Amino acid sequence: MQTPSNKALVPFVSVDNMMKLIHRIGIDTMLIGLADYIEQDFLRWPSFDKTPRVASHSAEGVIELMPTSDGATYGFKYVNGHPKNTRGGLQTVTAFGLLADVATGYPVLLTEMTILTALRTAAMSALAAKYLAPKNATTMAMIGNGAQSEFQCLAFRAIVGIRTVRLYDIDPAATAKVRRNLAGSGLNVIACASAQEAVTGADIITTCTADKANATILGDNMVGAGAHINAIGGDCPGKTELHADILHRATIFVEYPEQTRIEGEIQQLSPDHPVTELWQVFNGTARGRQNADQVTVFDSVGFAVEDFSALRYVRDHLGETGAFVEIDLLADPDDPRDLFGMLGRAAPAISAA
């Protein structure tokens, strides 16, 4: 297999090569691997630079940068969220990301992250559910059947052991799309006529809607004792999915409170409302699910460390998959002080072309 060769050339994973990488590794193997990398990085949480993502909001959506570093490697993701894009045949979310060597500042990986983000979001959801969902959970309600849905269902199957998914979306065509894409996956897929019907008998409820609004996708009377809610749709100020009464009776788990209080479901609550950070659950200093009747909520907005983990995973699997090309991203003059001379020496070749 091809391996990165020249430090002046940067490995680049295009959308096409990301799909090759996923198929060569296997989607279940990759989801499990991503969850493992995320858990490893959360276990060394104090070593990371942490800041809420840098967001530029508009009436149409949001553009964000999500940076972090562990002191040896720096990573960031550029990502947008534009719910209206689907009306014009565009993706609601697109992304790309980069890893760099802290010692030199040189990039070591540039990659698409639209597909990769869907995988890492699903892996993060299922990883949290390993600690928070009811024991032996087998059924999940998937409310909101957009681009994330199939990834979520497959991750919960591979990592948690879900066998049945109950689907609901206000657009029946979206639900039909998920049923079609999950055919042959081994999951029992049931289309439902309402959110209420979808949550009936579900051990886990995943909410993943796109509208930028303070919506009530789940009412308090829809959530029974012992349920785990994987709330991944609320991810910016003014966008929520759960009735506040659910939050008041649930134990809430978050990635990074300073970001989640701005963007997550808990923006509906007082700034001092207690939450538990997942990294502390992973390392055993805080408790996850404590009893069978407890209602747990993973208020997931996505955090830069998860993207860092996903970028590390891709970097570590480039050699075995060969799913990349090297691009001429960095100027590399013979004399590092003579950048202008490199430009001048290129003139004859450019003129001849």
For residue 256, the model assigns a pLDDT of 96
For residue 100, the model assigns a pLDDT of 98
If residue 245 lies in a helix (H) or strand (E), which one and from where to where? helix 244-249
Beta-strand runs (E) in 161-308: 164-168, 188-191, 204-207, 214-218, 228-231, 240-242, 251-254, 276-277, 296-299
Catalytic residue positions, numbered: 235
Distance, in Å, from the CA atom of 98 to the CA atom of 14, rounded to the nearest integer, reads 12
For residue 212, the model assigns a pLDDT of 64
Task: Enumerate the CATH 3.40.50.720 domain ranges in the chain, comma separated.
Answer: 123-302
Place 1 in a pLDDT band, splitting at 50, 70 and 90: low
Q: Residue 56: left (phi > 0), alpha (psi -120 to 50), or beta?
A: beta
pTM beyond 0.75: yes
Amino acid symbol at 212: K
* pLDDT tops 80 at residue 258: yes
Task: Enumerate the CATH 3.30.1780.10 domain ranges in the chain, comma separated.
Answer: 10-115+306-331
Chain position carrying tokens 């059947």: 145
Work out the average pLDDT over 213-217: 76
Place 202 in a pLDDT band, splitting at 50, 70 and 90: very high
Q: How far is CA 89 from CA 86, 176, 213, 221, 334, in A?
A: 5, 18, 21, 36, 47
Task: Please state which architecture CATH assigns to domain 10-115+306-331.
Answer: 2-Layer Sandwich (3.30)
CATH of domain 123-302: 3.40.50.720
For residue 86, the model assigns a pLDDT of 85
- pLDDT 10s digits, 270-319: 999 999 999 999 999 999 999 999 999 999 999 999 999 999 999 999 99
* pLDDT tops 90 at residue 57: no
For residue 2, the model assigns a pLDDT of 60
Q: Which two tokens stand for residue 215?
A: 């919506």
Place 123 in a pLDDT band, splitting at 50, 70 and 90: very high
